[in-house]
Structure 1
Amino acid sequence: MTYCVGMVLDRGLVLMSDTRTNSGVDNISTFRKMFHWSVPGERLIAVMTAGNLATTQAVISQLEERNKAPAERHNSLLEAPTMFQVATAVGELLRDTIANSAQDNGQHAAAGTFNASIIVAGQIKGMEPRLFLIYPEGNFIEASFDTPFFQIGETKYGRPILIRAYEKDMSFEEAVKLMIVSFDSTLKANLSVGLPLDLLVVERDTFEPLQERRIDGDDPYFATLSNSWGEALKKALDGLPDYVMERDGKR
């Protein structure tokens, strides 16, 4: 399992992913799940992956190969005129990869074994930053005013804080803090999500990362935020009205 979050702000895009993969408690590895490509001054495209590792690695490898291909070959990431067409191309690649894996393994009825989902984010010059969630079937939805962020992987533990605290006009610093709290809640609740975390911040109309970094287990800010959030929750709970238990109809 994994956990990835992509968020659209007035100022641009913020993406964060964990790096843990596991096939049981005794088989845990670290694999990168966030990737990006850019054409300076013209576009930046980023993807985050969750699901079957062989499937996601196959998709990323094919995207990487397209970026290394000779100029005469079509590159859907770096040549597509819109982010919608980028998302369409990635969706088709994901769908075909899953179908081919199922067929090669004689599992026509169990294609779900190879399922994966992908978040695609980016901006092309002259257009707005856009964010898409791509399903295993290759279809996708786009972030909107009502749904300004997407999660993939182990989503349930980190979702409540995002819903309560997200603001479209928040600063990048506030957004990163919010994401770290969301990830910390998930890390505490599920062993299949783990450090280090990868962070990518993209300011609109710059077409290059404003910040790209890895947050590991000894990162002082992460540790401070994790401890402070735990203490803040305890204080908030203590500050709520007390529950009064009635016994035999009396208080």
Structure 2
Amino acid sequence: MTYCVALRLESGLVFLSDSRTNAGVDHVATSRKMSVFENPGERLMVFMTAGNLSISQSIKEIIGEHMNGAGKTIWTVDSMYEAAQIVGEAIRTVYEREAKALEKFGIDFNVSIIFGGQIKGERCRLFQIYSAGNFIESHNENTYFQIGESKYGKPILDRVITPASTLDEAAKCALISMDSTLRSNVSVGLPLDMLLYENDTLAVTRFVTIGEKNQYFQMIRENWGKQLKSVFDGIADPVWNADPATTSNVLSAQGSRSEPLVVTPPQGVGNDSQPAPLQTLAQGSNGKQH
């Protein structure tokens, strides 16, 4: 399994990926899931993957060489949209070549991709690309994309991130999102790759591989749980069967007619029914000793 997240902000882009590919009691493997296509001063594109590793690696190799119908490659297209189309075409190429063979062995064609960056002359753009090669683009209504084991790290992103968030704020939030996922799912693991891209730099300027001893990530892992517990303890316990005018913490108002959905016992089962007495191996059905 994996977890990758990317955020599109007014100030640029943030990318974060884990590196775990297998997670069993006796087989833990890692492989980097973030790749960068960079021509400094002209274009920078980041490619992150989740799903079948062999499929992802094949797609990445094809992307660097694939030529579209206009005779352009990922290195020569004029827009990130065209670059995303090339990634989609690479996915379909691998599907046509390998899907039937994989199916014979009971293996699904499973891949998800986050692809984003900037080409000189246009704005930063971010895409999520699916197994069929189709894709969607990030806009202000969907500031981030996740692939892989996304559910554990989603709440903090929804509560904190806006297009106006700074790159450092987004980096902090992405790392908290990752820490929440690491704590809840053993199939996601260190080391992590993080890249922060500022608008119009057109080069890698801030990148880090994060391991167990990374000072900042250690601080997040230690303090985030403590802060959550502190906030939790600061929220009052619920008050039951009380007048809402007397307190602000009423969960069940006095005189409330709320009732559960009750399943009634079948006919013949009374309130005074008692469980049958336990029998030992030395007793028969009549309860007498043999």
TM-score (norm. length: structure 2)? 0.78
Q: Which residue of 1 aligns with 2:121?
A: 126
Rounded to whole Å, the distance in 1 between the matches of 2:25 and 2:148 is 17
1:98–1:115 contact (8 Å) kept in structure 2: no
Instruction: Within 5 Å, give how 1:48-197 maps onto structure 2.
Output: 48-64=48-64, 66=65, 76-105=73-102, 107=104, 113-197=108-192
Instruction: Within 5 Å, give how 1:163-242 maps onto structure 2.
Output: 163-242=158-237
Report the CA distance between 1:80 and its aligned residue.
Answer: 1.0
Classify the secondary structure of the residue corresponding to 2:213. coil
Q: Which residue of 1 aligns with 2:16?
A: 16
Larger proportion of helix: 1
Report the CA distance between 1:60 and its aligned residue.
Answer: 1.6
Rounded to whole Å, the distance in 2 between the matches of 1:182 and 1:105 is 33
In the TM superposition, what whole-angstrom CA distance separates every residue of 1:167-189 from its partner, at most 9, and x where no partner exists? 21222111111011000000000
Greater RCO structure (CA 8 Å; 6+ sep): 1
Q: Structure 1 pair 199/106, CA: closer, same or farther in 2 (3 Å)?
A: closer
Rounded to whole Å, the distance in 1 between the matches of 2:145 and 2:96 is 25
Alignment match of 2:239 (pick from 231, 241, 244) = 244
Code of the residue aligned with 2:113 in structure 1: it is: I
2:102–2:109 contact (8 Å) kept in structure 1: no
Classify the secondary structure of the residue corresponding to 2:239. coil
Classify the secondary structure of the residue corresponding to 1:177. helix
Rounded to whole Å, the distance in 2 between the matches of 1:156 and 1:177 is 18
Classify the secondary structure of the residue corresponding to 2:75. helix
2:23–2:187 contact (8 Å) kept in structure 1: no
Report the CA distance between 1:100 and its aligned residue.
Answer: 2.0
Rounded to whole Å, the distance in 2 between the matches of 1:49 and 1:83 is 18
Rounded to whole Å, the distance in 1 between the matches of 2:176 and 2:23 is 26
Report the CA distance between 1:75 and its aligned residue.
Answer: 5.6
Rounded to whole Å, the distance in 2 between the matches of 1:160 and 1:91 is 29
2:195–2:208 contact (8 Å) kept in structure 1: yes
Unmatched 5+ residue regions in structure 2?
242-252, 255-290
2:63–2:86 contact (8 Å) kept in structure 1: no
In the TM superposition, what whole-angstrom CA distance separates every residue of 1:197-248 from its partner, at most 9, and x where no partner exists? 00011111110122011010111111111111000110111111212356xx
The number of aligned residues is 241
4+ runs of 1 displaced by more than 4 Å?
none
Rounded to whole Å, the distance in 2 between the matches of 1:137 and 1:220 is 40
Report the CA distance between 1:10 and its aligned residue.
Answer: 0.9
TM-score (norm. length: structure 1)? 0.90
Classify the secondary structure of the residue corresponding to 1:41. coil
Unmatched 5+ residue regions in structure 1?
none
1:45–1:77 contact (8 Å) kept in structure 2: no
Q: Which residue of 2 aligns with 1:41?
A: 41
